[in-house]
Amino acid sequence: MHEDTDPVSSALESLRAKRWPGDFYDTELEERLMRESEATRTSFRISRHRTLIAALAVILVGGAAFAAAGGVEAVKEIFVNVTIRLMGPDGESYEVVKLQSLDVENGEASATLSIGEGQMATMVLDHVSGTDLTDEPGVVQGEFLATITIDGAAAPDGDIGAERTIELSMTANAGETVDQEGVVEQIADAEVVVPWVDAAGEARELYIVRRATETEPVLKMFSSRWLDSGEEVYDMVGLLSGVITDEAEITGVEVDENGLATMTLLLEDGEEKRVAFNADPGGAEILNESLERTVITISHEDE
């Protein structure tokens, strides 16, 4: 069927013909934007002087480490994505996802991580139900109690701890050879590919892959990098599952030269969620430098 007689084309043409009936610009909106611009500049100056206190609203999802191909030894570690929610002074929120390794001892996993501005948080996971935590390879699924304590300056409201029971799904990659071909196959079907240039001037790409089967995490994030040999390899830099469904739409992804990736998701209920993660697995600490307007507040979240 010729496109010009195609009902779809006719329908779209009828919408395209609708012109904006308003003015070239809205003077009231312009004034409002000027006020907002001034307020934004003022609040940025204020936020730099605030004491930054950590807040952890932790959403833990499974993570796996893939070492590079070419005969590099496999990694024996357990990784977990830790989500830290940071609030900006204008109410914007960012969730920073870090791939964090855990030490497992006697069924308890713990980690200490930097959350910016010299603050350190200690996270301990205690097994509640389901598969126990061990350092043996395999899929771990179960319920764990996450206890987070934060060192550093006291919180404004005096409470710096958060305790919640959450569902956690982790994959341990221990003693397994990395399958680069498998990764290449997945990224060929990537829903989003974002080229970026790192601080060293290397051209790299971030791939976001939506799952093909229900047993996988909803989204997987891979990042390319170059070996000295000139070979391009891929690392998994994050997974998202549990808190999002297949209906979640990726509405935007950006990566800056520090490897800070910001992904915006539109959830099924209309809520917008922004996730930040490190697209550069070898990159330096990003929390301090990239999230300029970070006012970290205490968050106790019930699920």
Partner 1 sequence: MTELPIFASEGRVLQPTRTPASVQACYSPESSERDLIERAKRDPRALAALYREHYAPIAGYVYRRVGDVHVAEDLVAEVFLTVVRSLRRYRYRGVPFRAWLYRIATNTVNRWASRRRRRAAQQATERAVAATQTDGAGEADVGFVRLAMLSLPLRYQSVLALHYLEELSVEQVASAIGCRVGTVKSRLSRARQALRDRLEQGR
Q: Give the binding site for partner 1 (CB under 8 A).
A: 7-8, 10-12, 14-16, 18-26, 29-30, 32-34, 36-38, 40-41, 44, 90, 92, 190-195, 203, 249-254, 256, 264, 266, 268, 270, 272, 292
Which phi and psi (to 5°) does residue 187 adopt? -70, -15
Residue closer to partner 1, measured from CB, 48 or 302 = 48
Q: How far is the CB of 186 from partner 1 (least distance, A)?
A: 14
Q: Beta strand pairing status for 138-150 and 93-105?
A: unpaired
Q: How far is the CB of 89 from partner 1 (least distance, A)?
A: 10
Closest CA to 273 of 232, 242, 229: 242
Residue closer to partner 1, measured from CB, 20 or 229 = 20
| CB 64 within 8 Å of CB 237 | no
Residue closer to partner 1, measured from CB, 164 or 211 = 211
Residue closer to partner 1, measured from CB, 22 or 158 = 22
Q: How far is the CB of 258 from partner 1 (least distance, A)?
A: 11
SS3 144: strand
| Separation between Cα atoms, residue 56 and residue 95, nearest integer Å | 10
Residue closer to partner 1, measured from CB, 26 or 105 = 26
274 Cα distance to chain centroid:
8
| Separation between Cα atoms, residue 159 and residue 148, nearest integer Å | 12
Cβ atoms within 10 Å, residue 280: 25
| CB 192 within 8 Å of CB 250 | yes
Residue closer to partner 1, measured from CB, 21 or 158 = 21
Q: How far is the CB of 81 from partner 1 (least distance, A)?
A: 22
- Geometric angle at alpha carbon 139, from 173 and 71, rounded to 5°: 20
Q: How far is the CB of 43 from partner 1 (least distance, A)?
A: 10
Q: How far is the CB of 300 from partner 1 (least distance, A)?
A: 26
